[in-house]
Amino acid sequence: MKLLENSKLEAISSTLSIHTPVCDITTRVESYSCKMAGDSKKLYKQLRNEPGTSPHDLEILGPSQTQSPTYNSSFLITPPPQILHAHPIARSMSSDDESTIAKTIPRKTLIFLISTLNAAFEPDYEFSSCTSHDFSRETNFELLKTEIDTRFLSSIGDHYRSLSSELWSTVDEEINVKESEIFSYCPDGTSDPFSESGIIWSFNFFFYNRKLRRILYLTCRADSKTSTNEADNDDERLETNNYLTFDDVMD
């Protein structure tokens, strides 16, 4: 996966990365080409050629994060209208077929999502052990948009109201939302950058446009300043204790 340079995405990422009295918010809006090269190509071949699998196999996804009754329930006041942007090839299918599409992902697409995470966080984190259960398909763009807007508003406040339209117009310009499939990643709670101590909330969404062979990755995390300060104090105490111990040895 290759990161595509885009000054507008860089600008909105910077603008939405803000320090508040409560937390530090880090936002990344990045576009990746699905053309494989280097380590991504090696991983693609490795996962594609696993015994008993095919790139066209459908794998079971985890439950939708935005439509889960427990997701962001403390922030969502009134439910938004149910406007669906389904998988493009599902529009002429029956409801049963659409249900199957919503719950599964082609193995090839799954590899693209994993490769995007690897490209975004290398060399600090590695996602090759992820399975389809770590991802979900989000079929309701309006609900997803409301979730993200609400999350930013609750953390940044009115400052975000003037930025919301800019964010979504920039995203649409780069990826064409109506022609994209949307997926989310659920942190595993132990080994990824969203499972670190002190994270108040985070989200990870992928907009995959097959025609463009491109994925737009929208991710954000809020780190508690209290946790950061406590960690700094612990480090200072540790350094002090080490110094005292060193002096005792010298004596």
Q: What is the C-alpha to C-alpha distance for residues 23 and 227, in angstroms, rounded to an integer? A: 9
Coil, helix or strand at residue 195: coil
Examine residue 87 and state whether it is found in any structural domain, yes or no: no
Asked if pLDDT for residue 187 goes beyond 50, the answer is: yes
Which residues make Cβ contacts (< 8 Å) with residue 182, sequence separation at least 6?
85, 137, 138, 139, 141, 144, 205, 206, 207, 208
Number of domains in the chain: 1
Residue 12, token pair as written in the block? 């909105």
Long-range Cβ contact pairs of 201-204 (< 8 A, separation 24 or more): 201/151, 203/65, 203/147, 203/148, 203/151
Residue 75 has a pLDDT of 36
* Lowest-pLDDT choice from 42-51, 107-116, 165-174: 42-51
Strand partners, 2: 33
- Percentage with pLDDT > 90 across the chain: 50
CA atoms within 13 A on the CB side of 203: 20
- What pLDDT score was predicted for residue 147? 93
Q: Are strands 2-4 and 199-209 parallel, antiparallel or unpaired?
A: unpaired
Q: Could you tell me if residue 83 is inside a domain?
A: no
Q: Considering the domain boundaries, does residue 69 fall inside one?
A: no
Q: Is residue 217 part of a domain?
A: yes
Containing structural domain, residue 196: 2-64+100-229
Residue 174 lies in a domain: yes
- In three-state secondary structure terms, 137 is strand
pLDDT tens for each residue of 190-247: 778 888 888 999 999 999 999 999 999 999 999 998 865 554 444 444 343 443 333 4
Whichever domain contains 51, its CATH number is 3.40.1000.50
Does residue 140 lie within any of the structural domains? yes
pLDDT at site 197: 84
For the record, the structure tokens of 210 come out as 């097959």
Distance CA 55, CA 124 (A): 27
Q: How far is the first Cα of the chain from the last one, in angstroms, to the nearest whole number?
A: 57
The pLDDT tens digits for 31-69 are 999 987 776 677 767 766 676 676 678 899 998 888 755
Residue 156 in domain: yes
Structure tokens that stand for 76 in this block = 């969502």
Residues 6+ apart with CB under 8 A from 170: 8, 9, 12, 29
Q: Does 74 reside within a domain?
A: no
